Structure 1
């Protein structure tokens, strides 16, 4: 991976949060940071990568924001760069108590997430903006997550930024915090999904984004004075999936869940997730809880062949009753196929409409199991035409070749 690309992936959110904390303007901060990356792309190939790439970018972005603020005749706090960065790092480590607020973790990226979860934005816009601004997820991958064209998502992101113009970069008051937490929980899972199932390029997964999403939920839990069941369930769900990261990719090759080497799963993380779920045994069904219980069934099965697919189908039925969606129907059909056979799974796909390659890929697999080879080939061809991820495309080509 090129140095600039690595810094973009690893440092975008932190640098943007530092800039927003400093200038209190999302639009100026994002423009300044984007300009700094463009400048790096021009100068680093000839001048060489600086010893502190993130510091170089932060300095360059800060200069551009300063120029913009001067142009707008806005007063600028003259705080040295090192003091700004040291202050932000210190704030990320401590809890600040205020008489009029609950205890909150003062983390600049958390402040940025809470800003993106502003009530002026729709939940979808808030999630998309957080993925773009905080974690640097490419716009086309965000579009795939929301099942819309890239141009449509780019326009939504622009409108969302404009709505935040002038909004305060601060932790909201207690009476607004609960609603923001609900939004951020959904945002965190979407961010996790973008890392766990990369939509395009060579990556099978982006463990850095997934890990950052897990960290965000941990911080949110620390914010709340009482236990929040769905937040605990969400954390358990994300940890159970994240614990499999080292088994999901071997030598750049995608390995599906039934074929994974379970000794490569992170057992300590799996235990933590199961411990989080135990107190929720009597909790009312809720979307994240049901998904976590499904993931737990895979985790506790001694072998893939001993997975309790009957319980998984029941959980999907409950989930469909609460939050029906094409993705849930697709996953339920896979579980039905494991419980009742490929023909039953194929029947469960009737009427499912879902953009992208995963629906034709599942259909191809079930057709292949039924010996309907020509139909399976056509479905694999459809899936390959829609798949933009290199590793997943390689997997689909391998499956198609196995048809003979």
Structure 2
């Protein structure tokens, strides 16, 4: 039958006038040195403003230069990897009133894994804004990108409300190497990457008088405001032993921060190797991966993979179901079956459904994996753990506490 709203012809239109203006302000770092290993701190000192971190972005511009061994500039075209600018930074963290709220380690690897599993095809096209291109890209070396903070930090992705009466600081630590951002096969050519500008572009929200009164009352009462989000926590096993079976004790977590999703992947001889693409992962003929949270294990049955015979459809199904589970959005994968195997064979373990009532004490996170051939030399394992985090802040007394 007809829906009820088809017949509500007398309803008056509703106009939302709670927000009077939305202005993006650019904030600059204390320092103007953006060399390898430098710390770049970008503060917002003004407290009597309403900011929207989830809609903020980082603007970065710079240039990659190639030189011959004689020191003269080379006219060769620069070949960038996928997501190259994020590989120029090691850690990126966000602080409120001097307390760390969220952080990612190894920004290039973390944001690349998260984007592979989160983006669909339309979003992937928009992501060219920050240099996302599945096949990498070539240019004369100049680059300027706008990286949304919600593609870097779980806090910005999940907490989409304004933050009132706080000091904010975004801290970016430059990587110690630029080699993960480019592909360079000529041994006679040297690379230099200069970052010329870094800015944090943050929306300021001005609200109507009625909304301002409501917010002022909340401020005066100093009632704690809770912010819940999912943290992206990367762990690395730098050099795996040459074996066909391995057990990796990843971390010990608290009950509050235990894993909800675990993404496991491997890379062979790619880290800081200028002739290899650092945004690509390798399957290394893995046949099975099991995640243990204490004695509980996931998935329930062995995977039984055989990449050499293209038997990996169960793993691909785990990949395509991630968006549906994580965002409650339709299944719409970025990678097709072939690209999944060749670019990002990621082992995505969904452990979001757990009995949280009965359990106390620490959670030992362990991964066991088997391969049909020996793990190659110079193979690194990565484990991205996505867990819940809860932070509260009191806007008047400026107290910020991490509850988990």
TM-score class normalised by the smaller sequence: under 0.3
Give the alignment's TM-score, normalised by structure 2: 0.28
More strand per residue:
2
More helix per residue:
1
User: Which structure has more RCO (C-alpha within 8 Å, separation ≥ 6)?
Assistant: 2
Give the alignment's TM-score, normalised by structure 1: 0.28
